[in-house]
Amino acid sequence: MRRLSYSLGAAILGSLGIWVAAGLSQVAWGDGAYLYGEANTRDEIGKTYLVFAAAGNRLEGAIYMPYSSFDCFQGTIHDRQLVLTIADSFDGQEYRFTIPIAATDPKQPPQLAGFYELKTLSDNDQRILQQCRQSLRSR
């Protein structure tokens, strides 16, 4: 997971100068499942993906790279950011990570800095999401 978190952090930090978060008053996803990726297509090797379920401003999901392990997270939306608590799948340690929310049309799902929204979840995305939701609830 160390490589994954480094890759995710590097992607976000590298893109911060491009994305603008000003002008957001309240950001929320409609209740449902969402998929975002560093690439605008799924399953690109070396790219990071987030799959999560939203209910109000609460999130449960996973961060992963294709053909690799995944780490589960829970989080909230706070101050124009996703504030995530990620549980390392290997040692169980938890760490916090934030992802800026870019300016967006209030009629559309929010955009994450450095990520593209992908419209449909694959069977594998749904499996990962379900596994993480069960794991988080059993804690």
Higher pLDDT, 26 or 30: 30
Alpha helices in 1-139 (DSSP H): 2-15, 123-137
What sign has the CA pseudo-torsion 10, 118, 31, 21?
positive
Q: In this predicted model, what pLDDT tens digit does every residue of 45-66 receive, in sequence order? A: 999 999 999 998 899 999 999 9
| Confidence band for 109, pLDDT divided at 50, 70 and 90 | confident
- List the one residue out of 74, 72, 82, 73 whose CA is nearest residue 28: 82
pLDDT for position 28:
67
29-60 burial, b at 16+ Cβ within 10 Å, e below that, comes to beeebbbbbbbeebeeeebbbbbbbbeeeebb
Q: Could you give the 3-state DSSP secondary structure of residue 112?
A: strand
Higher pLDDT, 109 or 69: 69
